[in-house]
Structure 1
Amino acid sequence: MATEPGWKTLASRKKQALHDAIPRGWLIPSLPISEHPNVIEVPRTCGLLTARELEITETTDVEVILRNLRTSVWTSLETTGAFYKRAVIAHQLTNCLTEIFVERALTRAMELDDILRDTGKVVGPLHGLPVSLKDQFKIKGLETVMGYVSGIGQYADRDSVIVEILYKCGAVPFVRTNVPQTLMWGETHNNVFGRTLNPYNRSLTPGGSSGGEGALLAMKGSPLGVGTDIGGSLRIPAAFCGLYTLRPSYSRLPYHGAANALSGQESILSVLGPMANSLAGIKDFMTAVIAEKPWNLDPVVVRKPWSEDEWDLCEHGGVGGQLCFAVMWDNGVVRPHPPLVRAMRIAKAALEKAGHRVIDWVPHKHLEIYKNAETIFVADGNHDYTTECAKSGEPLIRTMAPSEEEEVAEGYAFEPPAPFVKALVGAPAHHRAYDLWKLHDEKRALRKAHLDHWERTVRDTGTGRPVDAILSPAVAYTAVPHGLNTDSFYTTLCNALDYTASVFPVTHVDPARDVPHEPHAFYNHEDEAVYRLYNTDLFAGCPVGLQLIGRTLEEEAVLRMTYVVDEALKRYASEGGPA
């Protein structure tokens, strides 16, 4: 008999160990899968969570959770325990976790409770708060698999800097979440843990590469998560899962000590950022981490304290002043689906009703920026991926489409439209250093051209300033069937130009309103495939989010402007504005 390849044995043992780490009392008696593809409500209705645990985990405003922890309304032990149980329920439904270390997290929570009881003081601004982490951030004594079989058995001898800072801030790291092999997919699937599913519809993807975080947070299995983003890996899962996030500029937050794919690639840097069900969680994370002066722990971090002036929009007319937003209805590469267009119309109407100006954004050199970025990403000719796979002998995953066996086992299926291809950039080629330098030159020129284009909008805003921020889709569609998330340029634009950007939820797909558009003159094969993908029944009920794009290192202002948009949207909805 043929023996199973060694990498398969390692992977199956690791996945079994993850399952074995689940407390037996936290297992769902029966999983509602094929009959109920939307599992968002299962944690609330499955009977495993007590009324107290539901009260804690259904609280989505991180500031409320922190206040209750500071005032001992809730202990860190019960808060961590409640979110841990809900996280494990979420995992059974979406396969979102990679590391479960219950005893370690609860011990940390008890220590924080003891300190608060004995001293009357909190340890830091995130005192007692459970925080989930993408499976890139090393935690001392734990493996960092990061989607590769070769990561099994690689135990960290120290914490990554962001984990070190979270401990200083009083947080409780409590789970790690799934990622795709190579990290460079908009889908979350690997040979060790398998595929992560979108809780709004398990036949659809939660996105990637921070898709484990997206699914977990959508299920309210964590109050605050940490992911990363090199081409949209924070913003795509946030948009697909109805969350808030912030993609900061290069080196604003500490990345040192994290595992990564394409390690040493510094042409377009990966950045870390927070994900949450509330904007308060994003702000609390940013202010807490920056207050710890991360530039003293990571030499690459920009020495920039949190700026209250920028938070007060000092360069954007001040708080309460009139802002001018520009809507990118279409990026000239892929035209967005009807729900995204409706979301932009809602945002435009809400902002205008709130007294702000909204104009159209004219795309500038988008296809050139896209080609430059994508060529940089594959400049090693896939050498990094194949080298990492060779360490264990596992195969490189070349498609995220599920196999027939996987569809049957997981209870989902779909018929992809044909053709569905991505042909804007040629096959990967191993570039010489000189060729890469030329790409850098081109990218620098493109960044300058785009900056000048933005500055020229001062002629159109009526505020005496250029456009304050751009509103656009984060992706051309909502969550799509597994294997079909090919569009990333609405997000990669920001990575290439190093623009700070956020994502925020707006609405949900409504088949009655989001009827298919008439065919248009297609920009390319991908644009045509994306158009043909749209089916109102397939996407019904999916979250619809938008992206807010600001300037480089404008984290404070971008976050404050996201508050402005979010508050305008909520006020507009409460006043019965047309959806």
Structure 2
Amino acid sequence: MDVDPVSSQEPAAETEEKWRAIAAEKKQKQLDSIPKEWLITPPPEDRINVLDVPSECGLLTSREMEITNEVDVAALLAKLASGEWSSVEVTTAFYKRAVIAHQVVNCLTEIFVERALARAAELDEYLKTNGKPIGPLHGLPISLKDQFTMKGLETVMGWVSWIGKVSESDCVLVELLYQCGAVPFVRTNVPQTLFWGETHNSVFGRTLNPHNRNLTPGGSSGGEGALIAMRGSPLGVGTDIGGSVRIPAAFCNIYSLRPSYERLPYQGARNTGEGQESISSTIGPMSNSLSGIKVFVKAILDMKPWLKDPLVPKMPWNEPAYQLVEHGNGVGLCFGFMVDDGLFKPQPPLYRAMEMTKKALIAAGHTVIEWEPKKHLEIFINCNSIYFADDGENLRRECEATDEPLLQTMHPEELLVELDDASMPYERHVVRDLGHLTTYELWELHKEKRQLRKEYLDHWMGTVERTGTGRPVDAIICPAAPYPAPLHGHNRNAWYTTIWNALDYTVAVLPVTYVDPKLDVQHPPHKFRNHEDQWIYESYDPSSYEGCPIGLQVVGQRQEEEAVIAIAEIVERALKASPS
């Protein structure tokens, strides 16, 4: 094991002081990278909703407000392509708004203004000289989760031990974004280890939810979620191995897509648990509009990413799939509704959001049947056992390099509490107590996973007997979490998202409604199924979540990215047309 010999010799107080000093120096460099004229007077700490700070602080001009308030990425790209808006002014506007967002919710990691504006100027010159855009994302500023390596920049990813490690090359995604004409302009915060549904680390600190700063924006792509919710970026890219683009989307009132394994290129990006390939982390776009999700996926696929990433299948954008040719051309769809997975009963706002969506889809001419969960507990236990087959060795090694403590909680008041088991940051109680697995034991888990996936596929295909369309269920609608965005340290349940990672189903998230204490009153007590189910029920306080967003998942089959985007558009149109 590679351990700094100094850390094993020096007293604990000195080693703690050392890693804290390294982290503090990095945080100060980040602060120094913000143009002084972009610093604002932050609102008081007791102001919980900060969404209007960009329009109130006086930093943005009316033109910059117009630019950053444009949530339709396709419309934004059209103005960039025509030259109506230059890339320099669009990038400047979003950069200023991103920096405003950072000062109130702490969402950024790397800030490189001069570099991004130089790139934008090059694109403006290209358009002026050639009379056409350089690619499908011409001039568009794009934010990136702090995993996507960029040449000449550090990729800290929440680890003190990674500070100072400068990337010598761009990851494949960044290469393709440049080819598409995009302007990568900020990188965003993540939790230490990435295995959290919240966003906090010892280097950059905690990211807050702009709808309510007492609540988490989710994780691990929580920096992206908070930034995009504040309109500090028109389009961002996160990653998802257990819900990491979907949970922030649901908690922050934005859109996201979790594609199937390797559909989009991960090559060259950094990750936790590199080498674990049974349940892969996937790249996922996040945006304030579904147009942003579609634009991104199509643009990247049109660049033939399989020529740069050997794991990406040769699957170009499939227009017939987007037109839902295999799903009745989008007419008379049948949705499976799963408001309750049988393990953890969601809180009242989720029931109302599901009922709103059900009524809207029926009114739009679609049908809805109840989705029956199939072995969700077995699948989740199998999945988490695979995640931590190394018994947390990967995580501990990263910490031991600088003696940084492995965070065992996201609760603000319990961050350095010593727990009995540090090998898994959350939900340890559902993982088989197998310790560090042998190769054979891991293979047995892989075999079990394959059988569980086969059973779930058969279960889905069997719904053809109930849909009335001659097809199995076209998509599943379900919560992304059993609660709205909770208080910091309380997002302890990823069951509603991780199930689809284990099965490798394509999933979109879209906003539906907001918590209303008058409508979302506590349900009568039910027979609690387990301790976690009881905690979810008893922790609900509608007054604490007033105005908090509620998003839902739209689940399709494997590698149905185009179809899931189109079906999510149908769901959104139905919701907008519904009087409720």
TM-score, with normalisation over the residues of structure 2?
0.95
1:118 aligned to 2:129? yes
Please name the residue that 2:410 is paired with: 400
1:185 aligned to 2:196? yes
1:5 aligned to 2:17? yes
Tell me how far apart the structure 1 counterparts of residues 427 and 369 of structure 2 sit (CA, whole Å): 33
Tell me how far apart the structure 1 counterparts of residues 526 and 414 of structure 2 sit (CA, whole Å): 34
Shift of 1:489: 1.0
**Secondary structure at 2:517's aligned position in 1?**
coil
Specify whether residues 509 and 422 from structure 1 end up closer, same or farther in structure 2 by C-alpha distance, changes over 3 A only. Answer: farther
Give 1:5-84 correspondences, 5 Å limit. 5-29=17-41, 31-84=42-95
Show CA shifts across 1:298-337 (max 9, x none). Answer: 0000110111110111111113x21000100100121111
**Secondary structure at 2:326's aligned position in 1?**
coil
**C-alpha contact (below 8 Å) 2:407/2:415 kept by paired residues:** no
RMSD over aligned CA atoms reads 1.4
Please name the residue that 1:468 is paired with: 474
Please name the residue that 1:304 is paired with: 315
Tell me how far apart the structure 2 counterparts of residues 455 and 404 of structure 1 sit (CA, whole Å): 46
Shift of 1:404: 7.7
1:446 to 445, 449, 452: 452
1:203 to 199, 214, 218: 214
1:151 aligned to 2:162? yes
Amino acid at match of 1:433: T
1:235 aligned to 2:246? yes
Show CA shifts across 1:271-309 (max 9, x none). Answer: 001000000000000000000000000000011011111
**Secondary structure at 1:317's aligned position in 2?**
helix
1:224 to 221, 235, 239: 235
Please name the residue that 1:87 is paired with: 98
Tell me how far apart the structure 1 counterparts of residues 180 and 383 of structure 2 sit (CA, whole Å): 36
**C-alpha contact (below 8 Å) 1:133/1:173 kept by paired residues:** yes
Tell me how far apart the structure 2 counterparts of residues 390 and 504 of structure 1 sit (CA, whole Å): 40
Aligned positions, number: 559
Please name the residue that 2:502 is paired with: 496
Shift of 1:34: 2.7
Unaligned runs of 5+ in 2: 1-10, 417-425
Please name the residue that 2:559 is paired with: 553
Shift of 1:51: 0.4
Please name the residue that 1:176 is paired with: 187
Tell me how far apart the structure 2 counterparts of residues 56 and 497 of structure 1 sit (CA, whole Å): 39
Give 1:507-546 correspondences, 5 Å limit. 507-546=513-552
TM-score, with normalisation over the residues of structure 1?
0.95
Tell me how far apart the structure 1 counterparts of residues 414 and 429 of structure 2 sit (CA, whole Å): 25
Please name the residue that 1:336 is paired with: 346
**C-alpha contact (below 8 Å) 1:132/1:226 kept by paired residues:** yes
Tell me how far apart the structure 1 counterparts of residues 342 and 415 of structure 2 sit (CA, whole Å): 38
1:269 aligned to 2:280? yes
Tell me how far apart the structure 2 counterparts of residues 298 and 35 of structure 1 sit (CA, whole Å): 47
Please name the residue that 1:414 is paired with: none
Show CA shifts across 1:452-474 (max 9, x none). Answer: 00011011100010000000001
Shift of 1:524: 1.2
**C-alpha contact (below 8 Å) 2:199/2:223 kept by paired residues:** yes
**C-alpha contact (below 8 Å) 1:339/1:514 kept by paired residues:** yes
**C-alpha contact (below 8 Å) 1:474/1:547 kept by paired residues:** yes
**C-alpha contact (below 8 Å) 2:427/2:493 kept by paired residues:** no
**Secondary structure at 1:316's aligned position in 2?**
helix
Which contiguous aligned blocks of 4+ residues in structure 1 show a shift greater than 2 angstroms? Answer: 1-5, 403-406, 420-428
Please name the residue that 1:455 is paired with: 461
**C-alpha contact (below 8 Å) 1:249/1:552 kept by paired residues:** yes
Tell me how far apart the structure 2 counterparts of residues 201 and 135 of structure 1 sit (CA, whole Å): 23
- Higher mean displacement: 197-206 or 3-12: 3-12
1:423 aligned to 2:397? no
Shift of 1:268: 0.4
Tell me how far apart the structure 2 counterparts of residues 428 and 491 of structure 1 sit (CA, whole Å): 24
**Secondary structure at 2:335's aligned position in 1?**
strand
1:487 aligned to 2:497? no
**C-alpha contact (below 8 Å) 2:124/2:139 kept by paired residues:** yes
Tell me how far apart the structure 1 counterparts of residues 306 and 237 of structure 2 sit (CA, whole Å): 19
Show CA shifts across 1:10-61 (max 9, x none). Answer: 10000000001111111112x2133311111111111111101100001111
**Secondary structure at 1:315's aligned position in 2?**
helix
Aligned residues with identical type, % of pairs: 59
Tell me how far apart the structure 2 counterparts of residues 344 and 104 of structure 1 sit (CA, whole Å): 45
**C-alpha contact (below 8 Å) 2:408/2:415 kept by paired residues:** no
Please name the residue that 2:327 is paired with: 316
**C-alpha contact (below 8 Å) 2:156/2:162 kept by paired residues:** yes
Amino acid at match of 2:540: Y
Please name the residue that 1:478 is paired with: 484
Shift of 1:434: 0.4
Show CA shifts across 1:425-470 (max 9, x none). Answer: 3557111110000000110000000000001101110001000000
**Secondary structure at 1:470's aligned position in 2?**
strand
Tell me how far apart the structure 2 counterparts of residues 267 and 523 of structure 1 sit (CA, whole Å): 30
1:433 aligned to 2:444? no
Please name the residue that 2:423 is paired with: none
Amino acid at match of 2:538: R
**C-alpha contact (below 8 Å) 2:158/2:190 kept by paired residues:** yes
Amino acid at match of 2:85: W
Tell me how far apart the structure 2 counterparts of residues 211 and 568 of structure 1 sit (CA, whole Å): 28
**Secondary structure at 1:298's aligned position in 2?**
coil
**Secondary structure at 1:437's aligned position in 2?**
helix
Give 1:333-412 correspondences, 5 Å limit. 333-403=343-413
1:103 aligned to 2:114? yes
**Secondary structure at 2:327's aligned position in 1?**
coil
Show CA shifts across 1:520-544 (max 9, x none). Answer: 1112111111111110011110000
Specify whether residues 426 and 484 from structure 1 end up closer, same or farther in structure 2 by C-alpha distance, changes over 3 A only. Answer: farther
